[in-house]
Amino acid sequence: MIDRERIAEHNRELEPRLVRDVEHLATNLATDGHADAEEVISALVDFSVAAPSWAVGTGGTRFGRFPAGGEPRTTEEKIDDVAALHALTGSNRSISLHVPWDDPADPPGLREHALARGIGFDAMNSNTFQDNPSTTDGGRLTYKFGSLANTDPEVREVAVAHNRYVIELGVALGSQALTVWLADGINHPGQADHRDQFERVADGLRRIHDHLPDGWRMYTEHKPYEPAFYATVNQDWGSSLLLARAAGDKASCLVDLGHHLPNANIEQIVSRLAMAGRLGGFHFNDSKYGDDDLTTGSIKPFQLFLIFCELIRAGDGRLPALAYMIDQSHNVKDPLEDLIQSTEAVAIAYAQAMLVDRAALAAAQLDNDAARAQQVLQSAFRTDVRPLVAEARRRGGAAIDPLGAYRGIGYRRTMIERRGTGTVATGL
C-alpha cells in the first residue's frame, strides 16, 4: 500500500503553485461565462474509472513480451496495484476481473482483501476466446471455431455455463455487471453463415441474460476484427445494439474506443446508442490504426473530449452513471504509469466537456452559426484544466502529481524486490 503520508509529503512542495493556478483559472472561467471551477472540481472528486486486472501487468504482442518487473503474481496483488493507483489518482475505486485469468479460489476472502484496501469490483469479464482448461480441452470441446456461435451445441453450452459461472462469481464479489466480448467470427469467406452465427450468439446471450440477478447489467462489446479477420459476429455498434436488444432489458452496449474501423465517428456512435437507451459503458484507450490499446488521450484527445461532450448531453448536463473502465495493454511503459496517465486524460476530457457553454452552443446551432459553435467547443477544449484535475486529486487525499509521486515513492522498485522480475500478470 502507498502510505498517504508519503503522498501528503510529496504534495506539500507543489501546493503553493497549485493554489495560484487554481485561483487564476477560476477567475478566468468566471469571467468567460464557463462552468464554475468549484462545480468541476467537485464532479471530478466524485468521478471514478475502473482499472482492469489485465492492465496492471505488461502486455505482449505476438512478437514478444518485455515484463516491467514486479508484476502482480495473484489477483490479490493486482488489487494491491489498483489500490496503489487509486491512492495516487483518487479516481480508480474499482477493479474489473477477467475470468479465468482471474479465478479466485476464495471469493469472499478476495472481496475482503479488496474492501480492506478501499477497492470494489467493477464489471466481470468472461473469457471464451481461449480454451479454459477446466471446461474446454482444446480437443473435442474447443473455442477454436467460436464459443456462443459454435456449430457444436455442447461448446455453446459450455460457453453459456462459463458466463453464468462468472456472474455467480461476481455476485460473491459484489460486482453488478457482466461484460461479454466474444472472439466469435469468420476468418475466411464462406467458412460460416453470417446469419446463423448471429442467431446462435443472440440465443446464447439471452440465456446468459436470464441468469442475471436483479440490479445487474450486461454489456455487449463489439469489435470489427481480431482474432477473426474476415468478420466478427458482434462487428459494429449496430450489431451490438441488435444483440443487446435480443439479450434483454438489462443488456446495453459497451463502446471500446479501439474497436472501430479507422476514422469512425465514435462520438456520433455514443450519441446514437444513448438515444436508443442502450449505451452501457466504455473501455477507454487510444489507437492510431486498430485495437492498439494505447494510453487514453495520447493520440486523439479531441475525440475523447467530444465523447465526453456527448455523454454530458446524454445526461442532460451531468455525466450519466455508466460503466467507465480503462482497457489497455502496455508493452513498453510501466503499466501503472500508463494507467496514471490514462486516468488523468479521462479526467481532463471530462473537465473540458463540463466547461462547454451548452446554452451558447445550442444557440449557435439554432442559428446555423458553425464558426461560433466551433469557437464554443474550442474555448472549452483549449482550456488547460490540469489545475482543476490536480486540485480534485489533492482534495481526495491523492497526489497533485501522481506520476512524480509514484516515481518518488519508488513503488515499482519495492515491488521488484518483493515479487521478482519473472512474473507475468496478464494473458495478453
Q: Which residues bind Mn ion (CB under 5 A)?
A: 256, 283, 291, 327
Nearest-10 Cα torsion for 157, 160, 161, 162: 120
Helix axes 335-355, 386-395, angle to 10 degrees: 110
CA–CA distance from 107 to each of 103, 166, 210, 382 (Å)? 9, 11, 23, 46
Taking the complex as a whole, the smallest distance from the CB of residue 243 to ligand RM4 amounts, in Å, to 15
Q: Binding partner of residue 394 among ligand RM4, Mn ion, none, CB under 5 to 8 Å per kind?
A: none
Burial of 254 (0-12, 13-18, 19+ CB in 10 A): buried
* Cα–Cα distance measured from residue 107 to residue 141, given in angstroms and rounded to the nearest whole number: 27
Taking the complex as a whole, the smallest distance from the CB of residue 117 to ligand RM4 amounts, in Å, to 23
> Which listed residue (184, 286, 291, 334) binds ligand RM4 by CB under 6 A?
291
Taking the complex as a whole, the smallest distance from the CB of residue 180 to ligand RM4 amounts, in Å, to 9
Select 291 or 344, whichever has its Cβ closest to Mn ion.
Answer: 291
* Cα–Cα distance measured from residue 312 to residue 252, given in angstroms and rounded to the nearest whole number: 18
Q: Binding partner of residue 260 among Mn ion, ligand RM4, none, CB under 5 to 8 Å per kind?
A: none
CA–CA distance from 68 to each of 73, 203, 215, 317 (Å)? 13, 42, 39, 41
* Cα–Cα distance measured from residue 125 to residue 59, given in angstroms and rounded to the nearest whole number: 17
Paired sense of beta strands 251-256 and 217-221, if any: parallel
Per-residue interface string for the shown chain with ligand RM4, residues 141-180, x marking contact by CB under 6 A: ----------------------------------------
Taking the complex as a whole, the smallest distance from the CB of residue 271 to ligand RM4 amounts, in Å, to 22
184 near ligand RM4 (CB under 6 A): no
> Which listed residue (80, 81, 256, 334) binds ligand RM4 by CB under 6 A?
256
Q: Binding partner of residue 209 among Mn ion, ligand RM4, none, CB under 5 to 8 Å per kind?
A: none
Beta-bridge partner residues of 273: none
- Window 296-355: residues binding ligand RM4 (CB under 6 A): 327
Taking the complex as a whole, the smallest distance from the CB of residue 328 to ligand RM4 amounts, in Å, to 9
Q: Which residues bind ligand RM4 (CB under 6 A)?
A: 54, 98, 125, 181, 221, 223, 256, 283, 291, 327
